[in-house]
Each structure stands twice: as structure tokens, then as C-alpha cells.
Amino acid sequence: MDLDRELSTNRKADEGNGGGRKRGDSNKKNSLKAMDLDRELSTNRKADEGNGGGRKRGDSNKKRRTGADSGASEEKEVTVVIPNEFIGSLIGTSGRGIRRLQYQAHTTIKCSGPDDFFPGTKSRKVTLLNESIASLDAALSLICLVVAQDYPEKFREIAIVIPESEAGRMIGKGGATIQTFRDNCEHCELTDAENGERLLVIYGDILQMTKTARMALECLLK
């Protein structure tokens, strides 16, 4: 709930400084959604920890072994793509924002350089590293919340990088899987491949984006 307290404090300060009613209303809605999301993240994290921190796969595109022996833990990796105009909210002054998110989600978060965009876009790559799917979900949800707080009207989409080899998994038999994603947000689409990778683009409000992204992560990493 630390992030929710910060959002609430920032909202009060904005209103005290003469913030517009429209922005105030949007921030209030985002704060309420943050509370709901925080409860969901807590529940999912406990469930994942109870299952041993998430199931493992051997695909090197999505995780890396962190030790030389066979008993070492394995680190999962997922990359999301965020429009460059929103990256400042994520990084924060002198990197304090991204360090806070890493601490809150217990997840390593790496952002690509200023000119390192996903091919064919003006969006930066944000890579998340952790052994637990629940922690990766928490990190992605917190990233969405932070950006939505600063851009409540403009932030309406997020994309997850999907290796071309996993595209069929995300589509599902007869398109059933991607249709499930679409049923939980305003729209969802899988782009054409660029250098062996696709984007699963999710459109909607903050709750729709985070819920659908959670479903996509579980499908990709399970």
C-alpha cells in the first residue's frame, strides 16, 4: 500500500495547488483502482509463494539460470514496451523512481537507452527479471500505476514482447487464448514479427491493462 499512500498524497497536493477538476477526478479514480490492484497483487504473491515461487521452463528466451549447478534457481525474464514520452515517470529523478519500484516488487528492472527503441516504434524496452511470476506481475502492475498517475488520460496501452516461437501459445487453438485477452480489455492485438519478436499490445484502463497483462504473463511463462 506504500504506492497508494504516495498517490493519495500527490493527489491532495495537486488539488491544493489548484489542479483542475478533471485531473483531480482522474487521479481519484486511479487511487481507488490502485487500492483494488494492491489487494490483488498481495493475494497473487502469497499464492505464488505458496506454490514454490512459480513453475519453471527451459526456454532461454524467458529465464536464465543463476547458478552453475542443476539445483540453482532460475530467473524468468519478460520485456514490456512503453512509449518514450512516459519513461520519465518510470525512471524518476536521478533514477529514484525505478529504484523504488525494484524495492517494492523485489524485481530487477532495466530500461533501454534513450535511442534504443523496439523496432518500428518510438517506445523503450523495459526488462523485468525475477524467479517468481507473481513478482514480475507486481512489477509490471506498479509500472502501469506510476505512469497512469502522471498521465491519467493518455496512458491507455502497454505491450509485452513475445518471441516468435511463442506466438502460437498466445493466440491459442482457433484464436481462443487471444480472444480471452480481448474479453478482459478494450482491445488486444499481436503484431507482425520484427527480428524474431512480436508485440502483444493491450488497450484499456489501468485495471484492464494490468489484469490482461497478468493473464499474458502467466500464459507466456507457465
pLDDT, tens digit, 9 for 90 and up, residues 64-73: 443 444 445 6
Rounded Cα gap, residues 132 and 87, in angstroms: 24
* Contact call for residues 216 and 200 (beta carbons, < 8 A): yes
Closest CA to 129 of 66, 222, 85: 66
Q: Does 53 score more than 50 pLDDT?
A: no
- Distances from the Cα of 54 to the Cα of 136, 140, 150, 174, 222, angstroms: 11, 16, 32, 28, 8
Which string of b and e fits 184-206 if b means at least 16 CB within 10 Å?
bbeebebbeeeeebbbbebbbbb
101 within 8 A of 94, measured Cβ to Cβ = no
- Determine the angle formed by the axes of helices 133-150 and 2-16, rounding to 10 degrees: 0
Contact 202, 160 (CB under 8 A): yes
pLDDT band (50, 70, 90) for residue 13: very low
Q: How many CA atoms lie within 13 A of 89 on its CB side?
A: 18
Q: What is the pLDDT of residues 83-142, one digit of tens each?
A: 999 999 999 999 999 999 999 999 999 999 999 999 999 999 999 999 999 999 999 999
pTM for the model stands at 0.70
